[in-house]
Amino acid sequence: MRKMTEENLRAAFAGESQAHMRYLAFAGRAEREGRDNVARLFRAISYAEEVHATNHLRELGLIGGTADNLGAAIGGETFEVEEMYPAYMAVATQQEEKGAQRSVHYALEAEKIHAKLYADAHAAVAAGEDAALAGVYVCPVCGHTALGGAPDKCPICAAAGRVFRQF
């Protein structure tokens, strides 16, 4: 693939991915305001943006086999834990941005767990198996992820375990 086309597809992937997430957040807000049809519209178009992003990622050759995809996921989570979020936290702390500090802290702590979960799944796939997972539970406040059941209280943000979403 030629360089300019690759750069354009990478930029389009980033834009479509952000639109997908932004529209999901907008849908949640519309639901809380009792605007179920607007929420449904946001969710539908969010899905369309996800389709576009996936198509761009596929054309870039960045969707591999499960082991390769897990390796990429581990690399991304490790980068966030070791480099990105510590740097973001330093800036937020220096600028005394309490909300940003909380958001970055939540993400950093959850990403540590995600990297471990992906590493465990990668080991299972490398052994020719699927990952052995009971239930996967995610805190809707900070993203903490637990296997087998939700904790009574989130260890990162103290949210009640009953609000965790099961996957």
The pLDDT value given to residue 124: 97
Length of the chain: 167
pLDDT tens for residues 126-140? 999 999 998 999 999
- Closest of 89, 29, 164 to residue 156, by C-alpha: 164
- Cut 0.85: pTM above it: yes
Residue 93, pLDDT above cutoff 90: yes
CB 42 within 8 A of CB 30: yes
Q: What is the mean pLDDT of the chain?
A: 98
The pLDDT value given to residue 134: 87
User: CA triplet 143, 66, 7: central angle to 5 degrees?
Assistant: 80
Residue 65, pLDDT above cutoff 90: yes
**DSSP state letters, 111-158:** HHHHHHHHHHHHHHHHTT-----S-EEE-TTT--EEESS--SB-TTT-
CB 20 within 8 A of CB 55: no
Residue 75, pLDDT above cutoff 90: yes
The pLDDT value given to residue 50: 98
H-helix segments, the chain: 3-32, 36-59, 66-79, 85-94, 98-126
How far apart CA 18 and CA 20 sit, in angstroms, is: 5
How far apart CA 102 and CA 87 sit, in angstroms, is: 14
The residues that bridge with 166 in the sheet, in sequence order, are 137
pLDDT tens for residues 115-127? 999 999 999 999 9
How far apart CA 138 and CA 154 sit, in angstroms, is: 9
